[in-house]
Amino acid sequence: KESGEGRFDIALVPRRITRECIILECKHSKSVGTLIQDSQIAADQIVQKGYREIFIRQGYPQVLGYGISFYRKQCYITKCKD
């Protein structure tokens, strides 16, 4: 689903509008050394492209965003800044 200026990877949308939504943006890292940086890039993309706006307009009180980067069996998660 498009939101803002593009498409997010995953959205967890609750049945009740009183609960929070979660948006996930995923990146594949080229090495273990870039996990943190790639995770931050994914989190920044959620904010910069306005992926949370569609859910805010629908009335969800809180929309959380997380950038996730993967390298083989390792991952790193960064929460979006509000």
- pLDDT tens profile 31-59: 999 999 999 999 999 999 999 988 999 99
Q: Which CATH architecture has domain 2-79?
A: 3-Layer(aba) Sandwich (3.40)
Three-class SS state of 3: strand
Domain boundaries, the chain: 2-79
**pLDDT in the model for residue 3:** 46
User: Which pairs count as long-range contacts for 51-54, CB under 8 Å and 24+ apart, including other chains?
Assistant: 51/3, 51/4, 51/6, 51/8, 51/23, 51/25, 52/3, 52/4, 52/21, 52/23, 52/80, 53/3, 53/4, 54/1, 54/3, 54/4
Is pLDDT at 68 greater than 90 in this prediction? yes
